[in-house]
Structure 1
Amino acid sequence: MAVRTRLSWRWRAFALLGGLALIAGMWWWGFDFGQFLGGFNRSAVAEKQARLEADAATLKDENIRLRAKLAELESELNVTHGAQTTLSRQALDLQNENTQMKEELAFLRKLFSDTGKPGTVTIQRLTAEKDRDDVYRFSMLVVRGGNPSDEFSGQLTLLANVAAGGHNSTLTLPDDQPDTAPALLLKFKYYQRVEGTFRVPNGAQLKSLQARVVEPGQATPKATRSLNLT
């Protein structure tokens, strides 16, 4: 009679698990080896992936650098364009100013040549226009004829005829507005440009303006010029 040794269920379970582990290992090794033989290498793929990620990071950094450079170039271009625009405008302003100065020089030369006896004072180019609400700006050129050796001293008096609400009134400057006195003082040898502003009553319109050159102590104006705006 043969005697068989019976293994306990625990040993059988261990043996079963060991067999399964061995089979799984052989299957995995066979699968990996098969991929290697078929041209699929995990380490090579991982290396290639790492290289691609490094290239992507490099390209990203390069993209950021190029964007910053582009922004810098755009900023420089805007500054250059703005400078060119400013220079063009300044050149045009200087050209217009130069043309105006040439015209004024020609005008003064003709004016001096046409002026009467020495000592004669005339008012030329009297203008007046609305500067803003209830404020008018005036300008004129006071010229002295001949070839004087001394300076002329005096003052301008302005008579502004204004209309408001169907009624006319006259402003006498600088008496009615003492703050205009400095702009109306005259002290020159050949000519003096006079510019300034004065106020009118609320809603009033300037109808006419008369300028008078007065010498100290003299009641009779040295020169008079009138301007009608109606």
Structure 2
Amino acid sequence: MADSTRRGGIALNHRLLAQAIVILIAFLGGGFLATLVGGDEPVGQLRSQRANEQLQQQLDSALGRLEMLRTRREVDQRALEMVRSELAVQKEHIAELEEGLRFYRSLIAPEGAGGGLSLREPELLATEEAGRYLLRLVVQQVARKHEKVEGSLEVTLTGNLGGETVSLALPELSEDFVGPALKLRFRYFQLLEGELVLPAGFEPQSVNIVARANSPRAMDIQKEFPWHLQERFTHVGQ
């Protein structure tokens, strides 16, 4: 439908342009013919002047309509671009909401008949400053009946420093995580975020996480994840 409208507008522009050209030719030809026929007679000159004025009015009118159509076409194109841009933003927003919904479902929906703790892969984002990163950790309870969990979380980064493999505890790298162990207290999940500042020359390779619960019962889980940067955090309504 848009293509047919565009073709119709182009055809109308062509017709107006052709009309303007015809009027211009008539304008020039009419004046020349009146001079040949009327000679120097005042009546012939008056008729020629009136004819020229009429043709000039028609020409101005056709050119005005042509300019109006060109302006309208430019406005329509800009409006179409704005609509397309807005649709792209809305699609991105919907995708983020769907991602957040999947995130919450994966945290709250029970998996299997058993229970225990579960660790999601840590999310890491680079900042504009070299050696500084944003970290998000998520610990969740997998159970059909969610009771309040209390315990602790320990995180260490393993990497290469000066040709040697070293492990650094999270509290050594961040003022946002006070330790040696981070406190856990949640029913469904707990989200912890903060900024890391790595030592100069340290090349991180993996993140080792140990979660321990002492209430409602003793349980623990340990996982090692590769150091992996991403563009943004998973959307969770923030």
Scaled by the length of structure 2, the TM-score of the pair is 0.56
1:11-50 map, 5 Å:
39-40=38-39, 41-50=41-50
1:50-61 map, 5 Å:
50-53=50-53, 55-56=55-56, 59-60=59-60
Deviations 1:104-135 (A, max 9, x none): 63675353x3443xxx4x23222354624323
Find the aligned partners of 2:187 and 2:195 in 1 and give their Cα distance: 24
1:96-135 map, 5 Å:
97-98=97-98, 101-102=101-102, 105=105, 109-111=109-111, 113-116=112-115, 120=116, 122-129=117-124, 131-132=126-127, 133-135=130-132
Which is bigger in relative contact order (C-alpha 8 A, separation at least 6)? Answer: 2
CA positional deviation for 1:159? 0.9
Deviations 1:19-63 (A, max 9, x none): xxxxxxxxxxxxxxxxx9x75333332442344245425533652
**Residues 193, 115 of structure 1: alpha-carbon distance in 2 compared, 3 angstrom cutoff:** farther
Tell me if the contact between 1:156 and 1:213 (Cα under 8 Å) persists in the aligned partners.
yes
Structure 1 residue 166 corresponds to structure 2 residue 172 = no
**Residues 176, 201 of structure 1: alpha-carbon distance in 2 compared, 3 angstrom cutoff:** closer
Question: What residue identity is the alignment partner of 1:160?
Answer: L
Find the aligned partners of 1:76 and 1:222 in 2 and give their Cα distance: 62
CA positional deviation for 1:83? 1.6
- Greater CA radius of gyration, 1 or 2? 1
Question: What residue identity is the alignment partner of 1:125?
Answer: R
Find the aligned partners of 1:201 and 1:42 in 2 and give their Cα distance: 100
Q: Which residue of 1 aligns with 2:63?
A: 63
Find the aligned partners of 1:69 and 1:129 in 2 and give their Cα distance: 53
Mark the runs of 5 or more structure 2 residues left unpaired by the alignment: 1-34, 229-238
Mark the runs of 5 or more structure 1 residues left unpaired by the alignment: 1-35
Alignment coverage as a number of residue pairs: 184
Structure 1 residue 206 corresponds to structure 2 residue 204 = yes
Find the aligned partners of 2:146 and 2:107 in 1 and give their Cα distance: 19
Find the aligned partners of 2:135 and 2:157 in 1 and give their Cα distance: 11
Secondary structure of 2:204's counterpart equals strand
Tell me if the contact between 1:155 and 1:186 (Cα under 8 Å) persists in the aligned partners.
yes
Q: Which residue of 1 aligns with 2:225?
A: 227
Find the aligned partners of 2:84 and 2:104 in 1 and give their Cα distance: 30
CA positional deviation for 1:224? 2.9
Tell me if the contact between 1:123 and 1:225 (Cα under 8 Å) persists in the aligned partners.
no
Identity, in percent, stands at: 17
